[in-house]
């Protein structure tokens, strides 16, 4: 069956007064091939969550059913959805944006956000804005997920991967100032990225003509928003806030 046919089949169940099972949602996720598919399945997940909660609260679930009383999908639902969104090689930014929106609206879509899913989102984020959003989710999830060395390492590594060496360096510095370090492998990758960036700037300066670069020198925008316990003296610095 195509995704369109599967969505119609699920809607037919609702129309008949029957509640689909979690496996039906998993089958929809398995059909995701691009950002458009991901958006449609995200909508189906939100509908499933809302109707499941309604069914449980009204006492209409049958004895012995596996409906979770909190209305959430299984532990791996978000991780499966992230992996499905990553299949879109044509427009990965838009596909991952859908995955991040689902994590941001986790209570609407009925997904649990744990450290494994957060790491997967950071590893697949394609720009600094997405990394910032995932970091904010990391800080806000309940039950809490510690902003620890694993988090710092993943954030810095993701920023290096997308070519944001300066922001990665500033973020690593602020993480360090609040007592959270990064791994040796990530530190070496960061140093190499900074060195490559400096070489590139040197080559550009040699090729520049008088008058080029006017108005430059302003700090890059902040991309990873602040943490409690922000150290003094970081104002105006790019990176973690």
C-alpha closest to that of 127 among 53, 10, 223: 223
User: Which positions ≥6 away from 119 have C-beta within 8 Å?
Assistant: 150, 154
User: Which positions ≥6 away from 103 have C-beta within 8 Å?
Assistant: 78, 111, 113, 117, 118, 121, 134, 137
DSSP 10: H
Q: How many angstroms separate the Cα of 205 from the Cα of each of 4, 130, 192, 215?
A: 54, 31, 20, 15
Residue 169 CA, chain-centre distance (Å), reads 21
Q: Can you give the pLDDT of all 241 residues of the chain as single tens digits?
A: 999 999 999 999 999 999 999 999 999 999 999 999 999 999 999 999 999 888 766 665 544 444 455 778 988 999 999 999 999 999 999 999 999 999 999 999 999 999 999 999 999 999 999 999 999 999 999 889 999 999 999 999 999 999 999 999 999 999 999 999 999 999 999 999 999 988 877 777 767 655 555 544 444 444 554 554 443 333 444 554 5
pLDDT at position 202 is: 73
pLDDT at position 132 is: 96
C-alpha closest to that of 226 among 142, 170, 150: 170
Whether the bond between 236 and the residue before it is cis, its omega within 30 degrees of 0, is: no
- Helix pair 165-177, 149-161: axis angle to 10 deg: 170
pLDDT at position 230 is: 42
pLDDT at position 66 is: 47
Q: Where are the domains of the chain?
A: 1-57+69-113
pLDDT at position 199 is: 86
pLDDT at position 58 is: 65
C-alpha closest to that of 128 among 94, 100, 162, 152: 162
CB 44 within 8 A of CB 7: yes
Strand-pairing partners, residue 47, are none
């Amino acid at each position: 069956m195509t995704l369109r046919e599967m969505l119609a089949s699920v809607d037919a169940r609702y129309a008949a007064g029957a509640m689909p099972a979690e496996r039906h949602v998993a089958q929809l996720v398995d059909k995701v091939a691009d950002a458009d598919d991901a958006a449609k399945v995200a909508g189906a997940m939100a509908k499933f969550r809302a109707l499941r909660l309604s069914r449980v609260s009204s006492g209409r679930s049958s004895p012995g059913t596996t409906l979770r009383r909190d209305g959430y999908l299984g532990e791996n639902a978000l991780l499966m959805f992230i992996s499905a969104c990553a299949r879109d090689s044509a427009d990965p930014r838009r596909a991952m944006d859908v995955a991040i929106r689902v994590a941001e609206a986790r209570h609407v879509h009925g997904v649990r956000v744990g450290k494994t899913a957060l790491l997967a989102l950071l590893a697949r984020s394609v720009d600094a804005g997405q990394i910032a959003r995932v970091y904010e989710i990391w800080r806000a999830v309940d039950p809490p997920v510690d902003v620890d060395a694993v988090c710092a390492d993943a954030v810095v590594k993701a920023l290096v991967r997308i070519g944001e060496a300066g922001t990665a360096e500033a973020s690593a510095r602020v993480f360090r100032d609040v007592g959270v370090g990064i791994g040796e492998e990530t530190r070496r990758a960061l140093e190499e990225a900074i060195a490559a960036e400096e070489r590139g700037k040197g080559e550009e300066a040699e090729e520049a003509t008088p008058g080029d670069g006017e108005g430059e020198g302003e700090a890059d925008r902040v991309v990873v928003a602040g943490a409690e316990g922000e150290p003094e003296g970081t104002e105006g610095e790019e990176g973690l806030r």
